[in-house]
Amino acid sequence: MTRHIIERVMSVLLILCFLLLSWQAARADGEKKNEEKNYRTVLVDPGHGGKDPGMVGAGGLEEKGINLDISLKLKKRLEGKGFHVVLTRETDEGLYDEQAENKKLQDLKRRIRLIEEESPDLVVSIHQNSYEDPSVRGPQVFYYQGSEEGRKTAEIIQKSLNDGLNVQKPRTEKGNAGYYLLKNSTSVTVIAECGFLTNPEEARLLQDSGYQDRIAAALAEGIEISLLQSGL
């Protein structure tokens, strides 16, 4: 009788073990599939930070904080779409050492080093613009002059920003051969200047969380489209 009970208990345990192993195998398989689907990495670079405020607009409004706000929102949006996202900074700190002689150069070099280490499918650097004429406004996307992949990506993201922000006088993407990040990046890189801090109305909007959300949504959509189209 006792032996019979032991045999039954053993059978039940065996079945349980089998079920547990099958479940774990199925789960591992699911995770692998997820990884395969979400392999694309986007590196989001909030420009400036720490001692480098970036562009300073009317009333002492600093570019670095707006760049970070938009970048953090963009990270969430992209992760929601299944991308792996790397940020160059997540706080108000530059990538330089306090004792560095040329903090700006060290900061930029470290951003490039991070791109080399992560080798993302796309780099999007977030900045704000300025101009002497305060009536000038609207987003503009830059790419490395001569990079066809960069140009295509910038074109798609520019269009997404123009549409998403309902821009009245839409700009076109622009090539640039001088920006350090564009020149030295080892991945396809675009710089998104989201708006002008020198335009009072746009400067107000750029500090508004709802408007920052719209920018992040438009950027995320443009990034998704460009990565799908380029097959990167």
DSSP string across 24-42: HHHHHHHHHHHHHHT--EE
- Which position among 41, 42, 47, 185 is part of the footprint of Zn ion (CB under 5 A)? 47
By C-beta, is 136 or 225 nearer to Zn ion? 136
The H or E element containing residue 73 is: helix 63-80
Pull the structure tokens for residue 165.
């922000």
Q: Cβ 128 to Zn ion, closest distance in Å?
A: 6
Taking CB under 5 A as the binding criterion, the range among 4-12, 125-133, 174-182, 217-225 that sits at the site for Zn ion is: 125-133
Q: Cβ 126 to Zn ion, closest distance in Å?
A: 8
Q: Which residues pair with 176 in a beta bridge?
A: 144
- Which position among 40, 73, 111, 127 is part of the footprint of Zn ion (CB under 5 A)? 127
Contact 171, 160 (CB under 8 A): no
Q: Cβ 67 to Zn ion, closest distance in Å?
A: 7
- Which position among 54, 57, 150, 164 is part of the footprint of Zn ion (CB under 5 A)? 54
For residue 165, give the 3-state DSSP assignment: coil
Q: Does 57 bind Zn ion (CB under 5 A)?
A: no
- Measured CA distances, 54 to 31, 66, 132, 137, 190 (Å): 41, 10, 16, 18, 18
Count of residues that interact with Zn ion, criterion CB under 5 A: 3
The contact pattern for Zn ion, residues 3-42, with x = CB under 5 A and - = no contact, is: ----------------------------------------
Give the phi and the psi of residue 59 in degrees, each rounded to 5.
70, 15
Binding-site ranges for Zn ion (CB under 5 A): 47, 54, 127
